[in-house]
Amino acid sequence: MMRNTFLIARREYIERIKTKAFLVMTILIPAIMAGSLYLPGIFVSRMSSAAKHLVVAVSDPQTGEIIRRQLEQVRQEEQQERQEIEQKEPQPRRTMPQASRFTVDMDTNTSDAERASLADQVKQKKLDGVIWAPREALAAKRVTFITRDVSSFEENSQIQMSVARALQRETLKSKGLTDTEIDNAQSLVLVAPENPSGGGAGDFKTTFFALVFLITVLYVTVLLYGINVMQAVLEEKSSRVMEVMLASAKPKELMAGKILGVGAVSLTQIGIWVLAGVVFASGGLIANGAELAKAISLRTVLFFVVFYVLGYALYSTLYAAVGAMVNSQQEAQQLQQLVALPLILPLLMLSYIVQYPGAPLSVAASIFPLTSPLIMFARISLQIPPWWQIGASIGVLVITIYGIVLLCARIYRVGILMYGKKPTLPEIMKWIRYA
């Protein structure tokens, strides 16, 4: 049995690794990953380094001056932060955004006609923005920022914070506080999270992006190569090659060989992607690549391999059964969506898992076999759960894989020789009993 399974797996591996699709995907995916990490940094750097011409429209010139100084102070704080980061890093990140530069003018005319005129200048790109803060707007604590880039959350939030701090400064100054006292009152307090063992959370943003990257790779590869198994079965079934192969191999050997062969192709491709990522990161070709590499620990890599292999075994078996049941691509597309649904649910739950990795729902989803490959891996990457939960997740997943292999082998045994008959649930139950 093992000899036939190995021969089928070897044939499947060699045939697929020689295809143009394998070569294209092997090159295209690292290129997309490098571009997604490198190009946005370049665009952000260029956009953020461009000077922004703003106008502050206020009734009181003193208030406008405070707002102007506050915007310049934010720029100085960003420049200082950038210098500190560059001093800590021997090789500064190439795409570290430059501090935003604001050229701020003041306008004490707060009439409706002036507002319309300033808004028109923003529309015609003569101005980048107008902070409309007349006396009544300040009293209502609702200042308007007129800008073309209403979706630029980071910059708009920065301007909003600057105006708020400027008005706070004006209020505190009217109470008799000095500039030093106001600076101390407005300075932010850094709250560093630390677990009970004394370990810090590190750079959570980098860790989160590393997690999203690995989850995406896990999801895409399991889904992609599971569908490849289904397509391989369906193609050979449609061409009647399956009947010839059954003369020298059992259905179980055919299914196991295809799963192992396609799985070896997937591991080869992932290995090439990982090697390319290491080369890009070590050579500084990917912005923030070194930070992402540091955020991915050896423990994370080991559990990635474990849950990838288990997740692939589970879903490729299901897809092999689907390929044996159907007779056309249209039928396969309808059924493959049902198989892929449990893989999509963890992606929808990811934000909840990140915030509450130890919640009952997160624990249950990380043990439920159809979602555990992604959910338990996410929990391990964020915060190592109790070992009994990891053991339970892997144990339940292995038992489920064994049961599904036995069940799908029965479907596979009968389904690969069924032609022209659309599978229904009663019909599939007959196949299982017959096999």
Mean pLDDT to the nearest integer, 133-160? 82
Strand (E) positions, 9-162? 51-58, 101-107, 129-133, 144-147
Q: What is the pLDDT of residue 244?
A: 66
Radius of gyration for the chain, computed over Cα atoms and rounded to the nearest angstrom:
30
Write the pLDDT tens digit of every residue in 412-424: 777 666 666 666 6
Q: What is the pLDDT of residue 396?
A: 93
Q: Are 66 and 170 in contact (CB under 8 A)?
A: yes
For 106, list phi and psi in degrees, rounded to 5: -115, 145
Query: Is residue 91 pLDDT above 80, yes or no?
Result: no
**How far is residue 368's CA from residue 226's CA, in Å, rounded to a whole number?**
19
Write the pLDDT tens digit of every residue in 39-67: 655 555 555 556 678 888 888 888 888 88
Mean pLDDT to the nearest integer, 337-357? 84
Q: Are 382 and 356 in contact (CB under 8 A)?
A: no
Residues 6+ away with beta carbon under 8 Å from 69: 166
Q: Are 315 and 339 in contact (CB under 8 A)?
A: yes
pLDDT band at 292 (very low <50, low <70, confident <90, very high): low
Residue type at position 149: D
Query: Is residue 429 pLDDT above 70, yes or no?
Result: yes
Is beta strand 144-147 parallel, antiparallel or unpaired with respect to 129-133? Answer: antiparallel
pLDDT band at 117 (very low <50, low <70, confident <90, very high): very high
Q: Locate tokens 């196991």: which residue?
A: 256
> What are the domain boundaries of the chain?
2-36+204-434, 52-80+94-185
**How far is residue 48's CA from residue 310's CA, in Å, rounded to a whole number?**
45
Among 11-15, 29-33, 336-340, 374-378, the range of highest mean pLDDT: 374-378
β-strand partners of 144: 132
Lowest average pLDDT, out of 92-96, 183-187, 315-319, goes to 92-96
Query: Is residue 399 pLDDT above 90, yes or no?
Result: yes
% the chain with pLDDT above 90: 5
Write the pLDDT tens digit of every residue in 168-208: 888 888 888 887 887 787 777 766 666 555 444 445 665 67
Write the pLDDT tens digit of every residue in 231-251: 777 777 666 666 666 667 777
- The mean pLDDT of the chain is 76
Q: What is the pLDDT of residue 304?
A: 83
Indicate the pTM of the whole model.
0.63
**How far is residue 313's CA from residue 224's CA, in Å, rounded to a whole number?**
13
CA–CA distance from 57 to each of 21, 52, 112, 128, 160 (Å)?
A: 59, 16, 11, 14, 15
Q: What is the pLDDT of residue 246?
A: 64
pLDDT band at 1 (very low <50, low <70, confident <90, very high): low
Among 88-102, 204-218, 261-275, the range of highest mean pLDDT: 261-275
CA–CA distance from 113 to each of 119, 137, 198 (Å)?
A: 10, 16, 60
Homologous superfamily (CATH) for 52-80+94-185: Periplasmic binding protein-like II (3.40.190.10)
Between 252 and 70, whose confidence is greater?
70
